[in-house]
Structure 1
Amino acid sequence: MTVFAALSTISCASSSIVQSESSISSNRKTPAQIETREPEAATGVTQQQLVVAEKFMVVAANPYASQAGFNILQQGGDAIDAAVAVQAMLTLVEPQSSGIGGGAFILYWNNQAKKLFSIDARETAPAAATPELFLDETGKPVKWIKAVVGGRSVGVPGVLAGLDLAHKRWGNLSWSALFDDAIERSANGFSVSPRMAKMVAMAYNPGIKQLPEVKRYLYPNNKPVAAGHLLKNPKLAQTYRIIANQGAQAFYQGQLAESIVSAVQNAPIAPGTLSLADLANYQAVYRQPICAEYRQQKLCGMAPPSSGGTTVLQTLKLLEPFNLGKQANSLAAIHLISQAARLAFADRNRYIADPDFAPVPVEQMFNDDYLATRRQLIQSNQDMGKAVAGVLAPVGSDNAIERPNTSHFSIIDKQGNAISVTTSIEMAFGSALMVEGFLLNNQLTDFSLSPTQGGKLVSNRVEPNKRPRSSMAPFIGFDKQGELSMVLGSPGGSRIINYVTQNIIGMIDWQLDPLQAASLPHFTHRNDYLALEKATEITELEVQLSAMGHKVKVINLNSGVHTIQVKNGKLLGAADPRREGVALGQ
């Protein structure tokens, strides 16, 4: 097999530009009660429909955001322009999931040049950060929930730098025009969504009740904002006016940068070391996408420091010789997919990290002989138990925790250009530090809280200027003629990998359209236990799977897969019914 654009060890990203080679019903029941393991899960199920268009399409996690992107495309903007408008709006209307205070991974297909590009806009650790950042006075890792809140967990935000990098090269409309909708909505107010209201009421992130700025915003009169409440954010409107008029650099230098640094260094809880120099020196970087063939489709995702691309593709390559059948979510298919996921996650947890700081053995992970050896561990009717990583490098496994509070949007413009963006501030409402109308991330908790494991250094440990490992998995696929076939991705913490894998298999192996694939009952495996989505028909297989040796848990599983499929000259788009997003096209 061929892994396009994968080197024997990925390291030291070049400053030069790198290019790659050229319905089944879910029978879903009423929303389940809140499941604390998956804090975003209990937000209901929306009625969705498959949207068909001919010219362009945008699918995002909130109707305001989809509309902002649609407006830009209708005005003659391209996919890059629309992406800026979508992210600006998401910062306002979905603050629990993403924002300009966070980071993103961006895949962009330039249809005119027939080239795929990827941009790493992941946050970086401050220059003063050390491997002991999250250790207590006894040298032990602090509890994760204590690591989250406050300034210590804030990485240098990257999403604006990444979008700016893309816009300067490929954007069509002026940068200033891309913020109009977000400015208007910030100033005049937006209707709080049921999802946002529920996340506020849950207060799963304790910081939103502990830190004064965000508490004033989300708890007016000491009561959580309710669904349908008209919420205004004049500070964000002013922030966007500055960024629109002065460019993205105004975020990284000047008044806004000073406000960010002050908020982090003077945080009432766990002050951090983020500095003006950290912001001024931040750069989004081009990375070589990682691509592999699966059943005559070429699928491309993000290379490290995201583990999304490698782990999704490794799972699929392990599965390729197996017949997953024509029936979606059959007992045999669930078993086989979970076994491949076990093996891929074992390698992920040990080896994936920032390639600028540690060699990442991507080529070895996709070697045919290595895959064949790993594949032999998969039995047809028995769970293999805890998978052990292959022996590729002398490093320790990681204990980083990723929560499912992220967003994804997919866009195709009328020129056939496509962009797939997964964007996040990590925990629900990030670090809970709010500055100038937006929340700052807590992405540094995506590092291993302990720098060592089993006496070995962990590749994904905290180091100055390093990017934490991620599970974000934006994907773009191509048919056997090399033409664009799909654009997708999902939020969901480390389960993103499972959600995207299942969606791809749904469309390729089971010939489902994007809505059918997104509506399938979920199952996930991260080399821990087999999770079956609560209140769906898939739970009927629990007894049989348990008899095969699986440790099964029935829980809420909350994806947000947003997909555009290109088929027979049409654009087929769908938003995951578990969230509030919509697909809009023309």
Structure 2
Amino acid sequence: MPSCKDSARQAHLTVHRIRPRRVLMSIFLLGILTACATPEPASVDGSGAPRPSAGEVTAGVAAAHPLAVEAGLDVLARGGTAADAAVAVQAMLGLVEPQSSGIGGGAFLLHYAADSGEITAFSGRETAPAGAEPDMFLDAEGEPLSWFEAIVGGRAVGVTGVMPMLGAAQQRFGALPWSALFDASIGAAEDGFEVPQRLARFAAGGRWPQAEVPDVIELFTNAEGETISAGEIWRNPAYGQTLRRMAERGPRTLLEPPISTRIIERASQPPLPGTLVQADFDAYAPVMSEAICGGFLDHRVCVPPPPSSGVALLQMLALLEHTDIDQRGPDDPVAWLQFAEASRLMYADRNQYVADPAFVDVPVAGLLDPAYVAERAELIGDRAGSLPEAGSPPGLAWAPDDRFRHTGTSHFVVVDAAGNVVTMTTSVESIFGTGRTVGGFFLNNQLTDFSFVPEVDGVPVANAVEPGKRPRSSMSPVLVFDVDDRLVAALGSPGGSAILAYNAKTIVGLLAWELSLQDAIDLPNLVTLGENFFGEASKFPEDVRTGLVELGIDVQPGRGEESGLHGVVFHADGRVEGAADPRREGIWRTLVDQEG
């Protein structure tokens, strides 16, 4: 039987850099983690300094709300691992940031084991029910439903996967009992907490139709009959009861009666009633696999496999290696032109080819094939061109799906005292999911991440709806390693389709422009959605904006601004540098900070 190293050697493609000074890197293709032994970790960093011992690692959490950070730190202080703390962080986020994620949603998680160097990818992506139909998001005339109509419909609800996924990760890598991970979130739900500004803003309504769903209105109306406001104390005792039950019964609690029965009943109500049945919940299982990795500037970047769109992020970084973006900087308009044009190429391919690999052939190797990437990179010119179509990578062809989604999502990173790391992106899809609640939590509307149109001109769409299928996701948690295979960064972001651009911007800032992680996160966001360029126009220096206009890019404000990047950088001397996106309410805090 071949060894793990032999198998890995057979299962990769070598990427030849266009600059000889760069070390050859490898793109590792999909595989089943349990079929291969753990690789040997590197013992030194690029400077030859010894890798810091486990006792020197500073444990910490970066997440979208201070209470979620504190919940994770509390678990770490009790001897919990990164996988243990991730459960506590998610449970608290579902209470204090329910517009973005929750126990009724789905997630992707990467786990790094410090003692072995093992990277494990977990998918808690939701699944479509057995009764799902390819035309379920078409109206009576065969036209796609409007976005705002579909996202509040019962048929948008998929089988929730985040807690079963966290259960699988915690069972494998945890140290504390499952029941010991919910104390902080139960206490906050029952005793109350100060309403954050972002939650109050979304609860107050606006352009999101979920704000008009009766469940949302009831949940966020206080004793005076008014919508909750920032700073007031708010309680969600129903959520606390749900967590108590989950602590006692385990990670599949929401998939079992009586809660699953209530989910089925609520999802089956109009408008657009869904088809969920108990058998759909019984059949659900999280997926554990190897990550896929690609090279960028003498580093290895690892992401989850499809249906995550991480492969698209790797492709974008590979495209940028065919430019001189690393010789430029954030004050150079040409650098942002290169970023924008690589984004366009990436999105064109992502929208056409990425889907659930259990149902369709996703050309992962083809999208990252060096010759194909080089061919696509030739389309990056000296000024913005027309919107590119998808290319033809080695593999099967699919029809395009050009929908861009806007989601309610969150990201967090946990580091424990042994140096184990969790980087996880989690979502209920749109703001408050469907707006429908059960047991104090929101039901997701992740099935609207499928293509509404099952085929184009007779050619099937890869991301079309099928029973049991998982919709394509933009969620792409990231791990970054140096040339000696030392972990140097863990990061990720919410933001719907823009997640890929947010992550790429931060990686470029960190690795190409050698910024601190915080400065890389703080860089202005630039997102290409179709023909348009959106982003934080006012954050670009005036000469950069002027230069971009001369290059054919007029950055428009109003979209592509709601990133929520969180991450950690590991320095060779043992320092751990965390950072949080100032655009949201997140923080980075260490166990030392808490104890101090």
Residues 1:539 and 1:279: Cα distance change in structure 2 (over 3 Å): farther
Deviates more, 1:545-554 or 1:268-277: 545-554
Work out the percentage of aligned pairs sharing the same amino acid.
Answer: 39
Distance in 2 (CA, whole Å) between partners of 1:359 and 1:466 is 13
2:300 maps to 1:277: no
Deviation at 1:327? 2.7
Distance in 1 (CA, whole Å) between partners of 2:127 and 2:293 is 25
Deviations 1:284-336 (A, max 9, x none): 011321101111111101111011x1111111111113222353242011011
Query: TM-score, normalized by length of structure 1?
Result: 0.90
> Are 1:19 and 1:289, in contact at CA under 8 Å, matched by a contact in 2?
no
**Equivalent runs, 1:166-185 vs 2, <5 Å:** 166-185=169-188
Distance in 1 (CA, whole Å) between partners of 2:68 and 2:421 is 17
1:34 is aligned to none
Deviation at 1:203? 3.6
Distance in 2 (CA, whole Å) between partners of 1:536 and 1:91 is 31
Secondary structure of the 1:181 match is helix
Deviation at 1:256? 1.3
Q: What residue identity is the alignment partner of 2:29?
A: A
2:567 maps to 1:563: yes
Residues 1:316 and 1:92: Cα distance change in structure 2 (over 3 Å): same
Distance in 1 (CA, whole Å) between partners of 2:352 and 2:471 is 14
2:419 maps to 1:420: no
> Are 2:93 and 2:102, in contact at CA under 8 Å, matched by a contact in 1?
yes
1:579 is aligned to 584
Residues 1:503 and 1:512: Cα distance change in structure 2 (over 3 Å): same
**Equivalent runs, 1:245-284 vs 2, <5 Å:** 245-265=248-268, 267-284=269-286
Q: What residue identity is the alignment partner of 2:569?
A: Q
Aligned mate of 1:129, from 128, 132, 144: 132
Q: What residue identity is the alignment partner of 1:390?
A: G
> Are 1:18 and 1:286, in contact at CA under 8 Å, matched by a contact in 2?
no
Q: What residue identity is the alignment partner of 1:227?
A: A
Secondary structure of the 1:283 match is coil
2:64 is aligned to 61
The number of aligned residues is 547
Q: What residue identity is the alignment partner of 1:254?
A: P
Deviations 1:260-297 (A, max 9, x none): 111112x2422211111111111001132110111111
Aligned mate of 2:159, from 156, 163, 167: 156
Aligned mate of 1:4, from 27, 51, 56: 27
Q: What residue identity is the alignment partner of 2:568?
A: I
Distance in 2 (CA, whole Å) between partners of 1:108 and 1:378 is 35
Distance in 2 (CA, whole Å) between partners of 1:537 and 1:14 is 44
Residues 1:327 and 1:552: Cα distance change in structure 2 (over 3 Å): closer
Deviation at 1:54? 4.6
**Equivalent runs, 1:61-140 vs 2, <5 Å:** 61-140=64-143
Query: TM-score, normalized by length of structure 2?
Result: 0.89
Q: What residue identity is the alignment partner of 1:64?
A: L
Distance in 2 (CA, whole Å) between partners of 1:125 and 1:235 is 27
> Are 1:339 and 1:378, in contact at CA under 8 Å, matched by a contact in 2?
yes
2:43 is aligned to none
Q: What residue identity is the alignment partner of 1:204?
A: R
Secondary structure of the 2:109 match is strand
Deviation at 1:551? 5.0
Residues 1:551 and 1:328: Cα distance change in structure 2 (over 3 Å): closer
2:304 maps to 1:334: no
Distance in 1 (CA, whole Å) between partners of 2:408 and 2:531 is 20
Aligned mate of 2:531, from 514, 528, 531: 528
2:494 maps to 1:491: yes
Deviations 1:206-255 (A, max 9, x none): 233232x3321113355321001211111111111111011112221121
Residues 1:19 and 1:523: Cα distance change in structure 2 (over 3 Å): farther
Residues 1:134 and 1:155: Cα distance change in structure 2 (over 3 Å): same
**Equivalent runs, 1:116-515 vs 2, <5 Å:** 116-211=119-214, 213-220=215-222, 221-265=224-268, 267-307=269-309, 309-324=310-325, 325-379=327-381, 381-392=382-393, 393-515=396-518
Distance in 1 (CA, whole Å) between partners of 2:270 and 2:146 is 18
Deviation at 1:449? 0.8
Distance in 2 (CA, whole Å) between partners of 1:313 and 1:511 is 19
Deviates more, 1:125-134 or 1:526-535: 526-535
Distance in 1 (CA, whole Å) between partners of 2:35 and 2:247 is 26
Contiguous gaps of at least 5 residues in structure 2: 1-14, 16-24, 41-55
Contiguous gaps of at least 5 residues in structure 1: 8-12, 23-52
Deviations 1:107-163 (A, max 9, x none): 000111211000111000011001011111111111011000031100000000100
Q: What residue identity is the alignment partner of 2:387?
A: K
> Are 1:565 and 1:571, in contact at CA under 8 Å, matched by a contact in 2?
yes
Deviations 1:358-407 (A, max 9, x none): 0011101111111111111111x211211111123331111333214200
> Are 2:242 and 2:439, in contact at CA under 8 Å, matched by a contact in 1?
yes
Distance in 2 (CA, whole Å) between partners of 1:121 and 1:275 is 19
Residues 1:74 and 1:106: Cα distance change in structure 2 (over 3 Å): same
> Are 1:406 and 1:492, in contact at CA under 8 Å, matched by a contact in 2?
yes
Residues 1:538 and 1:466: Cα distance change in structure 2 (over 3 Å): farther
Residues 1:18 and 1:443: Cα distance change in structure 2 (over 3 Å): farther
Secondary structure of the 2:295 match is strand
Deviation at 1:455? 3.1
